[in-house]
Amino acid sequence: MSGSSSGAGVEVSGLGKRYGDVVALDDVSVIVQPGELFGFIGPDGAGKTTLFRILATLLRPDTGSARVLGLDVVRDLWAIRSRIGYMPGRFSLYADLSVEENLRFFAAVFGTTLEAGERLVAPIWRQIAPFAGRRAGALSGGMKQKLALCCALVHLPDLLLLDEPTTGVDAVSRREFWDLLEELQRGGLTILASTPYMDEAARCDRVALVQGGRILDVADPRRIGERFDRPLVAVRAAERLRLLHALREHPGAGSVFPFGDAIHYTDARADRSGERVAAELRDYLRDRAFPDAEISVVRPGIEDVFMALMRPPAGAAA
């Protein structure tokens, strides 16, 4: 991780927050550079929402500090609030107002107008303009998220906080949404987004893997495979369940997980090369009546790294 930001991004240091017995955030530190498209990847309950709420000045941290755009989240909350755009998890617009009424309302709340926000809103507006008069509650999931994004941009913020903006939205709309985010980033906006979808992580400049209130790792998604300290082997065969059991019973088995139509296997012994592991498996599987198993060494993706770094989830059972 590079040194401190120029003050226009986000600096989080030793952040902690608990709700009664539950530790929501545990010593979280991260730096987001200005102009970055930064992703927080992790499952529900990982602490992403709590982190975003602290950055949005909605919650006070118990320990540690955070600075957004060079301003302290506790002391300078009003200065921050007028300069950031925030999109919380659930659909949080007014369902009984129309698309346009929602936009004009939020513009007015920030003391500006819909027209003044054109620069950022225009590309998205083009997609939702045909539905300007429709009740926001009657839109599809994808359209609602785009509207919410518009409302967060209408006052021309310097930084966007998007908490799980694509949950429950179909794959096509999700892609379109991230296309929009990339376009906004090219315009100079700093964007922090959290998501449970690993494939969206790939579109970020850098990602932080979050689980159980901690950051497991921060890396460039394109290079995240380097975090893997041993070869990853993908195995394909017709009888998936039987293959799964067979691989798990292999004496050298480290991690064995289904991944799409293949099974990803890592060996428990760190010193083997990819080719050696593959060869061993080929022999082993042939003995187990898998003559046509396809075995190849593959590059680890974000999900592989995430699962390798994860602590076992509560109630880890096969």
Partner 1 sequence: MSARATPPRRGAQRTLGAFVRKELHHIVRDRQTLAILLVMPLVQVLLFGYALRTDIHDLRVAIVDPSPDARSVRLRDRLEGTPRFRVVRTATTALALEDLFRRGEADVAVVLPARFGESLGRGEPTEVLLVADASDPNTGTIMQAYVRAALAGFEADVTPQAGGPVRIRVESRMRFNPTLESANLFVPGLIALVLTLVSALMTAISLSREKERGTLEVLLVSPLRPWQIIAGKVLPYLGLGFAITCLVLLAARLAFRVPLRGSALLLLAESVLFTIVSLSLGVLVAARTESQRAAMLGALVGTLMPTALLSGMIFPIASMPGWLQPVTFIVPARWFVVIARGIMLKGTGLAYLWRETLVLTGMAAILLVAATRSFHARLD
Partner 2 sequence: MTASAARAEPAIEVRGLTRRFGAFTAVDDISFDVAAGEVFGFLGANGAGKTTAIRMLIGLLAPTAGTARVAGFDVATQAEQVKRHIGYMSQRFSLYEDLTVRENITLYGGIYGLSDDAIAARTRDLATRLELERELDERVGRLPLGWKQKLAFSVAVLHDPRVVFLDEPTGGVDPMTRRQFWERIYVAAAEGTTVFVTTHHMDEAEYCDRVSIMVDGRIAALGTPAELRARFGVGTMDDVFVRLARPGAAA
Residues of this chain that interact with partner 1 (CB under 8 A) are 53, 56-60, 77-78, 81-82, 84, 86-95, 106, 109-111, 151-152
| Residue 306 contact, options partner 1, partner 2, none, Cβ 5-8 Å cut-off depending on partner type | partner 2
DSSP H helical ranges for 59-140: 77-81, 99-109, 118-128
Q: Which stretch binds partner 2 (CB under 8 A): 43-51, 56-64, 104-112, 151-159?
A: 43-51
Tell me if 278 contacts partner 2 by CB under 8 A.
no
Question: Beta-strand (E) ranges in 177-213?
Answer: 190-195, 206-211
Q: Which stretch binds partner 2 (CB under 8 A): 11-19, 107-115, 284-292, 304-312?
A: 304-312
Tell me if 45 contacts partner 2 by CB under 8 A.
yes
Closest CA to 114 of 99, 136, 127: 99
Tell me how far CA of residue 163 lies from CA of 42, 47, 69, 135, in angstroms: 12, 11, 18, 23
Tell me if 57 contacts partner 2 by CB under 8 A.
no
Core vs surface per residue 42-67: b (16+ CB within 10 A) or e: beeebbbbbbbbbbbbebebeebbbb
d(CA 195, CA 223): 19
User: Given the complex with partner 2, which of 14 and 45 has the nearer CB atom?
Assistant: 45
Beta strand pairing call for 37-41 and 190-195: parallel
Core vs surface per residue 224-239: b (16+ CB within 10 A) or e: bbebbebbbbbbbbee
Q: Which of 7, 22, 44, 109 binds partner 2 (CB under 8 A)?
A: 44
Neighbours of 116 (CB within 10 A): 14
Q: Which stretch binds partner 2 (CB under 8 A): 1-9, 14-22, 23-31, 171-179?
A: 171-179
Tell me if 266 contacts partner 2 by CB under 8 A.
no
Closest CA to 147 of 170, 119, 177: 177
| Residue 270 contact, options partner 1, partner 2, none, Cβ 5-8 Å cut-off depending on partner type | none
Q: Which of 211, 221, 265, 272 binds partner 2 (CB under 8 A)?
A: 211
Q: Which stretch binds partner 2 (CB under 8 A): 11-19, 24-32, 109-117, 162-170?
A: 162-170
Tell me if 313 contacts partner 2 by CB under 8 A.
yes
**Looking only at residues 121 through 150 of this chain, which bind partner 2 when binding is defined by CB under 8 A?**
127, 130-131, 139-143
Q: Which of 83, 104, 135, 175 binds partner 2 (CB under 8 A)?
A: 175
Q: Is the dihedral of CA 50, 51, 56, 57 positive or negative?
A: positive
What is the binding site for partner 2 (CB under 8 A)? Answer: 42-46, 127, 130-131, 139-143, 167-173, 175-176, 196-199, 211, 238-242, 244, 257-261, 303, 306-307, 310, 312-318
